[in-house]
Structure 1
Amino acid sequence: MTISAAVLGRPIAHSKSPLLHRAAFQALGLHGSEYASYDLGADELEAFLAGHDHEVGFSLTMPLKEQLVELARAHGWDLDDTAGLTGVANTLVRSASSTAVANTDVQGIVRALAPGLTTSDTEYGDRATILGAGATAASALLACHELGITSIEFLVRNPDRARRVLELSQRLGITATTAPLRRIEPAAIVISTLPAEAVPELQWSPDFHSGVALDVAYAAESGFLRAAEAHGLIPVEGTVMLVEQAVAQSEMFIAAAESQNAEAELRNTETADGGDRRTRDSARRAAITVAMYRALEDAPGPVGD
């Protein structure tokens, strides 16, 4: 089995997606598989997808994430909840019978935060704080919902721009408020969705004793995470989210490619209810994860999606 996939966006030269996915292909012995990169804007996406129908899937970065959701709705593609609820998507896959669109940033955030939450004993276990209210904040909101959060405070410069996340919070049954981007109150989860240069010097409540903090930016040094750690929170770098969302993408690419392969599809059907498939999938995820982290560690320079 071989896989042909690519990352799309603008600018795209900085993207580490080719590095990560090629490392996964190599680790799994998928020789002959390809992962390319294409620079294109939102107004070029529909024509590009129509003209590149041999790829099993695509990773998408800015400025294409919202446009992909619009195209999915217009063409009747399968739109999972991560994309449908947030209004943004970063993954398209083509299986034997359908085209599906998803937002693996949500899984990336969940997987990045979950280990710290299991070891962090906090009295604010149902509360989260999210810096920002844009597309990534919507993904962070949905991830927090999956982790059991019921109350979220969005720290924003302009409350009018928080309408989307406030409406989504209401749909999810989460109590949500906005506050100025000045002070962080105690919470089990604190997530910065802002570019590193846009995070101001913040006041942290002295009542913090534990929790988990994630900076989705991939800056080499995060003042936000340094401050979080100083106040007792477990810091999680944006590279963890970067890798974990890419792992989820890679699993989707492989599953789609297998569905296009009649022999592999038969094998999957035979083992669908058995432990063999679960064991195989677990081992494959572990191999992909290790390969991607190693590739990122060996790569020079700053990282990006």
Structure 2
Amino acid sequence: MRELDLVPADGSTTTCSATQHRDLFATARVSLGALGVITAVTLQCVPLHALRDLDPAGAAGADPGISRLASRLGGSRDVTDLARRVSASPRSVGRRQGEYAVPRDTLVDALRELGCRVDSHGDGVSFSFGVRFAAADDIWLSPAHERDVVHIAFHQYHRTPHERWFQVCEDVLGAAGGRPHRGRTHRLDAVELAPRSPRFQDVTVLRARLDPSGMFADPAWTASSARPAPSDERAGPSPANTRSLRHHVGPRTPDRGAEPEAEPEGTLLSGSRAAVTVGSRRRPLARSFAGLLTGPVCMPGR
């Protein structure tokens, strides 16, 4: 993202980038509506390219612990294709999802602990974990702020009780130093988020200046109890969350009677119709969901 236009509570429009209103740009890129409405975005595109998905067990220099776990999860694999097709899986089944980003050196222990918890969990687990790596960045509210991380996503079928399993996952990944993905289900409020986010206080000061009346406030910025869980990804937002979504990207009225088309992970999934500038062309703003779903959930504890 190179530039964005933000409309805060007073209705004005501010254009920010790495060279103008830098603090605002550092926050707004992962603000999820906390600062105001993002009305336009300029994205830097890259040429279409191919990727090779190689089983880490056969890759030279791969970390032995991660290689063993990856081999158990996904088996042997060596595929080369267009980037959008490699390691992508369709989302044709409704689900609830949470995700935490943990320091890379905690990945093996965290996955092993989660694997042990799967065996003892009474409600059953519907989906495997999603694992993806991300480099450190300078975005104030990013889970990867100033550290290389691994995102671990956990899911549950949308008609199955998810609260107990999600609490288990949040406990394990939180103990590993994880930070929640703010666009997915988590139970943390401001009191619990603050010590996990090095720039949380700076963002709080910025929010107070841009939104003194609390128009865009939600439990992530108050000391209230846990935030309500959003509805499953496929069905769209629940009525309780519609106002919050509108503050993020504008009105959206999903057709709940229609079966949505499955879209591969790692691509841009259609959101509402805010504008995006790509070069000289304007496109609908879209939400990005990423993560890899691979192999069985249960892993040996050794």
If the TM-score is normalised by the length of the shorter chain, which range does it land in?
A: under 0.3
Q: Tell me the TM-score normalized by structure 2.
A: 0.25
Higher relative contact order (CA 8 A, sep 6+): 2
Q: Tell me the TM-score normalized by structure 1.
A: 0.25
In terms of fraction of residues, the more helix-rich structure is: 1
